[in-house]
Structure formats: C-alpha cells, structure tokens
Structure 1
Amino acid sequence: MPEYNTLDDLEDGQRVLVRLDLNSPVEDGEVQDNNRFDRYSETVAALADADHKVVLMAHQGRPGRDDFVSLQQHADILAEHVGKPVEFVADTFGEDAIAAIESLEAGEILLLENTRMTDDELPEKDPEEHADSEFVKTLAPHFDAYVNDAYSAAHRAHASTVGFPLVLPAYAGLVMEREYEYNTSVANKEFDGPVTMVCGGNKSEDVISVVNNLGGKVDNFLLGGLPGELFRRAQGYPVGHDLEGMDLLDGQWDETKDTLEDLVENRLDEFGLPVDFAYEGDDGDRAEIALEDIEEKEDAYLDIGHDTIEDYLPYIEESDAVFVKGAVGVFEDERFADGTVELISAIAESDCFSVIGGGDTARTLDLYDIDEDEFDHVSIAGGAYLNALTGKELVAVEVLKANA
C-alpha cells in the first residue's frame, strides 16, 4: 500500500486543484510539445472522466529567463493530449481566477496562469509558512481536494507543491505515484541477480552521492561523461582537467578529489571506467583515443569510446536490473551519441528491470527512435530523480504522506 492517498481514494464529483509540471522548452516564444503533456494528460483525463471540476496549476521557466512565459499555449497543447477542451485564465488567484473556478461544471478543465507569476510561489519555505500565504489561503477554500502530480518538482518547497496539502485533503496523481514507485525501486526493491547503474552527466558530486547511497544495492557502476574522466584522474591518468577556455572539471576536482581517490583505492571493483574516449578530430569527424595512449589531454572528450562500450555491454546483458542516471556523452550531437544510444539500446533489448532517468537522458529515446515501452519506466524528472537515488527526502512527497 502507498504511504500517501492516491486517486483511488478520491471520491468522484469534487472540485479538485491539481499541480502538474508542464515546464517545457520554448523556442522563439513558442512552447514545444513534449512527453510531459502526454504523461500528465492521463491524470487530467481520469479526473475529468470521474466528473471532477478540474483546475490545473503549473509553472514555466523562472522570472528573468527567456522561457518565463504564460501558460496559454500549454492549455492548447494539453487539450490535444487529453482529448477535451482545456480552458485558460490569465490569472493565478485573483478575481478572474476565482470567477473561472466557480463557473466550472463537472468534467470541465481549467488551467490557471503560471504559478511563478505570483510572489508567493518561488521562495523555498517550510510548508506551514506556505500554507499561510495569500496564494494558498485565497485558493484553498474554493476546493474539496488537492492532487499533486508534479513529481519532477517534488524536491521544491514551493507554495503550490507543499502549502495546499496542509489545508486540503491531498492525493498523489498517476505520474507522481508511478515516478515515486519506480525511482525508489533501486533502493527498495529486491532483485535476484546483479544490479547495474549507468552514471554519466556533468557532475561528479551527483555520482558520488549515488554511489554512497546505493553502494549496498548496486553491484556495478558504469561511468561516463565528466565523472568518468574525473575517476580516471583520481587514478593518476592525464584526463579530467579543463583545457584552456573551459570551466567544467577543475573546480569539481578540487571539491571531490579526496573522495574520488578514496573510492578508486577502496571500492574500485564496483566501477566500470572508460578505457577510451571520443573527441572531435581535425576533420570534424568523431575520433577516439585509448586511455593508455594519452600523454597529455589535448582535446575535449565528448563520449566514451567503442572499446569502453564493448566493456560495458556484458554488465547490462548479465544484470537483473539496470538504472540510468545521466548520459555518458553529448548525445545531442550524433557524432558523440554512440555511448549513450548503444548502452540504452542494449538495456531495451535485454530482459532486465529497467529505469531510465536523469536530466535530459530520456530525450535520447525520441532523438534516436528508441521505443519507450521497452523499459519498465522512463522518468521525466531530473532533480527529483537524483534525490530519490541519493536517498534525499522529497518535500512534496513527505507532505502527502503526512496528509494521509
């Protein structure tokens, strides 16, 4: 049984306030359709079909950034995925918003304006403080229940994620329930065979936190990206440092040097480390160099090499479960996507329990036509997924538990 209430516990025919995470790429002022709309449409449709009056909250960007825009376009995109009209009001909790909320009929859907356009939303505060904000105190009396489906924002103590569960009966939406279950499975689920985690990205500190939290649950950590270089630097190889004009690696090395050296000295058997790297050759094509042939780092390494890929594949093929946290290369560039694509494709072809997540990693599937259905779960969360892997509490989930 879940530790929080779910939609199965919610009686039909209520006025429900629902927090989604529709934060999306914006190009030249146009909001881009993406898998978040598809995922959240399932919860929205289920609520509308149960004769709820459905009022949606979501955020987009941050003040001062180019992607900080209205949610009007989001309403149109979401409506296409839900298969029902989604009305929009350019207000969060003022008179126009209240009037639109009060006029809703059963089964109708309304999207409020960007929550981050209210001063009460963004400051990180205790749930009790947020519950006492004008935003929460004004909106809450107009609802029977609150549903949080925004797992990807569950690590944020914002008014819309932690304030309402203190003053309304609160429930987890379908995305929240599914993400929480699968993203904590590496720590909570028992597996019969080896468990492997592919770790990439650009932050060694994140990988260290995952390793320290899951060392007793994960048998093999296969490293790529910047952490792969930094772990090799800890062994004394001339990689994992910045070239002139770069600012990616040296600062991380200074902060994590002692921990990295301790890990490679005492826990090396847990790691798969790169034996070769890919870089941009003089002709602009992909070139590769073996670790043992590097006398001095002269190029930026943008992917693991094919010898490393071949070393990593047997771990995946022989594992009972494989989790992915971050890409092992710059997969947006086809020249340097081989590591990420080949490893993820191998996971898709295996019979293992599999969870893909971490920042933009899930975008690999769309870019390279890999079927999402081949995995047990593909997370749309970044920071919340990392928090789950590192054992940190998700404040929005904790308030749902407390409410239950």
Structure 2
Amino acid sequence: MAWKTLDDIAFDGKTALVRVDLNVPLRDGRVSDPSRIERILPTLRHIADAGGKVVLLSHFGRPKGKPVPEMSLRQVVPALESALGGPVAFAGDCLGQTAQDAVAALAPGGVLVLENTRFHPGEEANDPDFAAALADLGDVYVNDAFSTAHRAHASTEGLAHLLPACAGRLMEGELRALEAALGNPARPVVAVVGGAKVSTKIDLLGNLVTRVDHLVIGGGMANTFLAAKGVPIGRSLAEHEMGETARDILRKAEAAGCRIHLPVDVVIAQEFRDGAPNEVVATTACPDESMILDAGPETVAQLCALFDTARTLIWNGPLGAFEIAPFDAATVTVARHAARLSKAGQLVSVAGGGDTVAALNHAGVCDDFSYVSTAGGAFLEWMEGRTLPGVAALDG
C-alpha cells in the first residue's frame, strides 16, 4: 500500500481537514456510546500537538441533502470536548463564509467541527464543485474514517484528490490489520463467518474460499448449508431457496483447496427463549419439531483445535443465537480461545461487523483480539474483495 500516514505530513501552521465518523448514537440529545469519538483522539492530538488546525468533517444520519436540525453535529460537540479535555468550536455550515470564518478564527492546535456534510446534496453525489469548496478550507486532507471508506462521497473520496492526503491513526491501524489478515497473511488462515443469512454474504463467501485455508460457517447460515447437503434441520432458521448457492460455494471451496467446517453436533430446543429446555444431538439428528440454536461442544472442541494450528483468524458473525443463554456458549467459548491465542502471540485475529462486535463484547474479549473493526459495511466490502473508494483515493 502506498498511502501516507500522519508521520509523512508536516502539520505546523497547516489546516488539516480530517474526515472522521461522528455518526454516533444519541439518547436524549447526548452521545450514549462515545467509542467512535475515543478512537479518533490519537489523530486529533497528533495534528494539534504538531501545531496544526484540526477541522473535522463528518456526516450524521441521512438528511438527504438538506438541513435537518435533529441531525446537526452540534449535538456531538460536548462529547468531543469531554473526550479531548478542552474546548471544541462549531460552525453551522461545512462550507461558505460561515465555515471560512470559523477556520480563520481557529488557533493552531484548536479543534473545529463543521456542520453535517450531508446537509448538502453535493456530498453524496461526490460533486466536484462541492469537493473543491471543501478543499478551499484547508491545506491537508486526513481520512480517519474507514467506516465510510466504501462510499465515494465528496468528503471521503473527492477531497483526497485535491489536497495532500494521508491516513489518520485509526484508518492506518485498520488498513494494516486488514493487510495482515488477507493481503499477505501468515498461514494457515481461518475465517469464521456466521449470522443468519447466506443471501447477504454470497460475495463474502465466494471471495473467502479462494483466499483462506479453512472456512468455518456458523449460525443460521450453517443451517442453510446443512439443509443443502440433505441434513434434516427441523424448524431451524434457514434459507432453503439458497440451497443451490450453498452447494456452489461448497464446490468452489473444494476446487480452491479450502476446507469448509460445519457443525458436527448442535444444541437444539423447541422454542427460542432465555433458558429454554435444550439438548445436544448429532448434526444429523435434529427432530422435526426442534430448532438448531447453537453449535455443540464437540464442534467447539474441533474449532479450538483448529485455531491452535492457525496463524491468522478473520471473524465475522456469531456461531449461534448468542443473544440468549444458553445459546451463546459456542460463540463465547471459541471467541475466548481465540483471544487467549492472540494474547500469547500465536494468532493474528481480526474481527468486524455489528453482530460480531456485540458477540465479542458479550464474551468479554474485544480488547484481546489483535484488531476489532467497528466499520460495518466497509469491513464487509473489504472481506468481499471490493475496492474501497476512500482507501483507493489515498493510494499514491
């Protein structure tokens, strides 16, 4: 990768336009989860400590090209001030005289938030004139929002071609982690893909079988694959119409030398509720009236043994219905084993996706994986092998 980092740019006396993701959850007008804010702090502090002006660009919600008061970034400023431990200025527009005056008034080392870029239709249209107006506000462009890198918008892609550009610390860490996982990984490589639907991850599975040595399929997706192989799955969640697609992926995996792992035993119950009566049966022995809700202990043991032989792990999606006990057991046990191997330096583990982050948090191991991405859509598109416009724009 040829992209530059913060270390390649002299920020003293410069105005840095920093694309971040401040699309954070609010409750009663206050930020309820500051995780995304906390992860951009190293970038903001680096620029400020180097004597640069820090001007933040971000979207918030889906205002569809017009101002929506409920989607103003003004609401995020108090949380930013709390995280930074100092004042943060705000401008009521992201371009024009309002923005120009706010940037001019900002002292070196200061931080300014410009209003929601999506209040203008030119943002999502990646309009050249809109991007040029943004570029007029600064001297350097820093992208620290991998979570929006799959969008070719003015502030994520267009702006990178108009100013000296680099990746921020969060973006840099994400790209290095992803390169270590799929770009040039230590082998063997194991990928875990779980969740409910095969239909939402066809491209993902198709790419992974050509890139990894072992592919573990869990959750409702595993049920679809089992059914496609003629295994009875009772009333389990599955996409029976995706049977031929599942069989095609199995064929592609075999041709590519990728071994697919499906559950060999499962936890079944007749109802999906907390503490529902359940039992462990062989995968081939699910009664008609029951549902498969988790992988069984023999499957867990096999996966832990597989991880012991691996050098790289990529994880997206849970192995079972982890939201409700006791159907979280497989996900929790296997995740904790991967975390132990990662902490011991035996495994490079990269995980991402909304359900994945929730599952790893539930297991208490988010901090023990080598890297956990909160990027969602961008992480999935990267796993699918797609070019991300926001990353490609930094290359070179």
TM-score for both structures, normalised by structure 1: 0.85
User: CA separation of 1:280/1:174 partners in 2, compared to 1, >3 Å: closer, same or farther?
Assistant: farther
User: CA separation of 1:195/1:399 partners in 2, compared to 1, >3 Å: closer, same or farther?
Assistant: same
* Structure 1 position 41 matched with structure 2 position 41: yes
Deviation at 1:297, TM superposition (A): 5.7
Structure 2 counterpart of 1:271, from 249, 257, 260: 260
Indicate if the aligned counterparts of 2:48 and 2:54 stay in contact, CA closer than 8 A: yes
User: CA separation of 1:371/1:386 partners in 2, compared to 1, >3 Å: closer, same or farther?
Assistant: closer
Distance 1:99 1:288 in 2: 67
Deviation at 1:208, TM superposition (A): 4.2
Deviation at 1:179, TM superposition (A): 0.6
Distance 2:95 2:189 in 1: 47
Q: Give secondary structure in 2 for the equivalent of 1:196.
A: strand
Distance 1:20 1:272 in 2: 38
Deviation at 1:263, TM superposition (A): 4.9
Indicate if the aligned counterparts of 1:184 and 1:389 stay in contact, CA closer than 8 A: no
* Structure 1 position 159 matched with structure 2 position 154: yes
* Structure 1 position 399 matched with structure 2 position 387: no
Compare 105-114 and 69-78 and name the one that shifted more.
Answer: 69-78
Which residue identity does 2:338 align to in structure 1?
I
Deviation at 1:254, TM superposition (A): 6.4
* Structure 1 position 259 matched with structure 2 position 248: yes
Matches within 5 A, 1:115-154: 115-123=117-125, 130=126, 132-133=128-129, 135-154=130-149
Compare 214-223 and 22-31 and name the one that shifted more.
Answer: 22-31
Indicate if the aligned counterparts of 1:19 and 1:161 stay in contact, CA closer than 8 A: yes
User: CA separation of 1:352/1:284 partners in 2, compared to 1, >3 Å: closer, same or farther?
Assistant: closer
Deviation at 1:111, TM superposition (A): 0.9
User: CA separation of 1:358/1:399 partners in 2, compared to 1, >3 Å: closer, same or farther?
Assistant: same
Deviation at 1:205, TM superposition (A): 4.5
* Structure 1 position 183 matched with structure 2 position 151: no
Q: Give secondary structure in 2 for the equivalent of 1:147.
A: strand
Q: Give secondary structure in 1 for the equivalent of 2:36.
A: helix
Which residue identity does 1:142 align to in structure 2?
L
User: CA separation of 1:258/1:371 partners in 2, compared to 1, >3 Å: closer, same or farther?
Assistant: closer
Structure 1 counterpart of 2:190, from 190, 196, 202: 196
How many residues end up aligned between the 2 structures?
385
Which residue identity does 1:285 align to in structure 2?
G
Indicate if the aligned counterparts of 1:232 and 1:240 stay in contact, CA closer than 8 A: no
Matches within 5 A, 1:182-261: 182-191=177-186, 193-205=187-199, 207-239=201-233, 249-250=239-240, 253=242, 256-257=245-246, 259-260=248-249
Which residue identity does 2:374 align to in structure 1?
I
Gaps of 5+ in 1: 124-129
| Deviations 1:46-80 (CA, angstroms, capped at 9, x unpaired) | 1111111110011222238x996222232222232
- Please name the residue that 2:321 is paired with: 330
Distance 1:258 1:100 in 2: 58
Structure 1 counterpart of 2:298, from 279, 299, 307: 307
| Deviations 1:155-196 (CA, angstroms, capped at 9, x unpaired) | 1111110111121111111111111121132322242x5221
User: CA separation of 1:138/1:208 partners in 2, compared to 1, >3 Å: closer, same or farther?
Assistant: closer
Q: Give secondary structure in 2 for the equivalent of 1:271.
A: strand
Distance 1:144 1:282 in 2: 56
Distance 1:282 1:172 in 2: 45
Distance 2:28 2:240 in 1: 35
TM-score for both structures, normalised by structure 2: 0.87
Indicate if the aligned counterparts of 1:26 and 1:67 stay in contact, CA closer than 8 A: no
Compare 341-350 and 280-289 and name the one that shifted more.
Answer: 280-289
Identity, in percent, stands at 35
Which residue identity does 1:40 align to in structure 2?
I
Gaps of 5+ in 2: none
User: CA separation of 1:149/1:305 partners in 2, compared to 1, >3 Å: closer, same or farther?
Assistant: same
| Deviations 1:31-53 (CA, angstroms, capped at 9, x unpaired) | 32242221111111111111111
- Please name the residue that 1:84 is paired with: 86
Matches within 5 A, 1:245-394: 249-250=239-240, 253=242, 256-257=245-246, 259-260=248-249, 262-263=251-252, 270-274=259-263, 275-279=265-269, 281=271, 284-286=274-276, 287-290=278-281, 291-296=283-288, 298-299=290-291, 301-350=292-341, 351-370=346-365, 372=367, 374-394=368-388
Which residue identity does 1:84 align to in structure 2?
G
Q: Give secondary structure in 2 for the equivalent of 1:157.
A: coil
The CA RMSD measured in Å over matched residues stands at 2.9
